[in-house]
Amino acid sequence: MKAFIVQRYGKKEKLKLIETAEPVVKETDILVQVHAAGVNLLDSKIRNGEFKMILPYSTPFTLGHDVSGVVTKVGSKASKFKVGDEVYARPADYRIGTFAEFICIHEDDVALKPKNLSMEEAASIPLVGLTAWQALVEKSNLKKGQKVFIQAGSGGVGTFAIQLAKHLGATVATTTSTANIELVKSLGADIIIDYKKEDFETLLKDYDVVLNSQDTKALEKSLSVLKAGGKVISISGPPDPDFGKEIHANWFLKIVLKFLSVGIRKKAKRLGVNFSFLFMRAQGDQLSQITKLIESGAIKPVVDKVFPFEQTNEAMSYVETGRAKGKVVIKVNSFV
């Protein structure tokens, strides 16, 4: 099969297209013939080597974290899916590799594809959908009538999180550029801040939740818009000690993670608010809940561009510009 691999870490490195063996199906796995794969900034960061400390992949390895496709084989102890099922997933860490024609995934990390989505639309959902779900439902327990500030509303996570927060009954504030104001308004944003003209920390106050996806400066400003007891969940760092426990980090890494987040945790404590870091995880059951919301019409995918498989590097470059509205997707050539 064809696959795009990371040969060596580095910002200037390009993924290499190779011929490789079809993956071997383990007893609790399913083999998925890839129809489409979503592209995320996480892919670039992993290729660049920014996550080597917490995700030490050995090169060469196949990249890609979002997939939609058709089940072609089922492991001897896998019972949730059958050959021919249309599915989508965010494979677990150390099982990634969706920039390929086939991928093996543990059945617990997979869900049936929403019936009302194309393969390309479905491939845009898993990583951002699970990120938003784990931030707003699992960590924040966002309730009807609460107020949430979602940064970068026109991005991949932002476009999904705005819709999920509105479905949960929250008042949603977001930041975006002038060009994308109508987009985030159409998704349900109540308060829209043009970040090129306005400062969110002067306009927002007494918020229950902030979903931070920006830099450290924006994270620190976010603390001031929360009410006492409010929560800021950051998906852009810094990692905290709880994350170290989640990934079963060794003692040295735990110390490093504690040091990285000590400043922001102290500031949050001083202001009477809560800080936590989220590195989303694969979760098929949660993805099944997301499927129901999509099939009901509560959430719709936002796809900016679809690239052919051979232009995977170009798709990565486009995502790195930060200008994509929603998600960028690769359509695998074999199934065009």
Domains of the chain: 2-124+301-335 (3.90.180.10), 127-277 (3.40.50.720)
Instruction: Check if the beta carbon of residue 31 is closer than 8 Å to that of residue 25.
Output: yes
Question: Which residue type is seen at 44?
Answer: S
- Give me the pLDDT at residue 191, please: 98
pLDDT tens-digit map of 34-77: 999 999 999 999 999 999 999 999 999 999 999 999 999 999 99
Retrieve residue 201's tokens: 């920390």
Question: Which residue type is seen at 118?
Answer: S
How far is residue 308's CA from residue 172's CA, in Å, rounded to a whole number? 35
How far is residue 176's CA from residue 250's CA, in Å, rounded to a whole number? 39
Q: Which residues of the chain have pLDDT under 50?
A: 335-336
- Give me the pLDDT at residue 335, please: 45
How far is residue 102's CA from residue 6's CA, in Å, rounded to a whole number? 17
How far is residue 149's CA from residue 199's CA, in Å, rounded to a whole number? 13
Retrieve residue 13's tokens: 């490195």
Closest CA to 100 of 16, 10, 8: 16
Handedness of CA 152, 156, 157, 160 (dihedral sign): positive
Collect all residues with Cβ–Cβ distance below 8 Å to 216 and sequence separation of at least 6: 237, 238, 264
Q: Is 10 exposed, middle or buried (0-12, 13-18, 19+ CB in 10 A)?
A: exposed
Q: Is 250 exposed, middle or buried (0-12, 13-18, 19+ CB in 10 A)?
A: exposed
- Give me the pLDDT at residue 1, please: 96
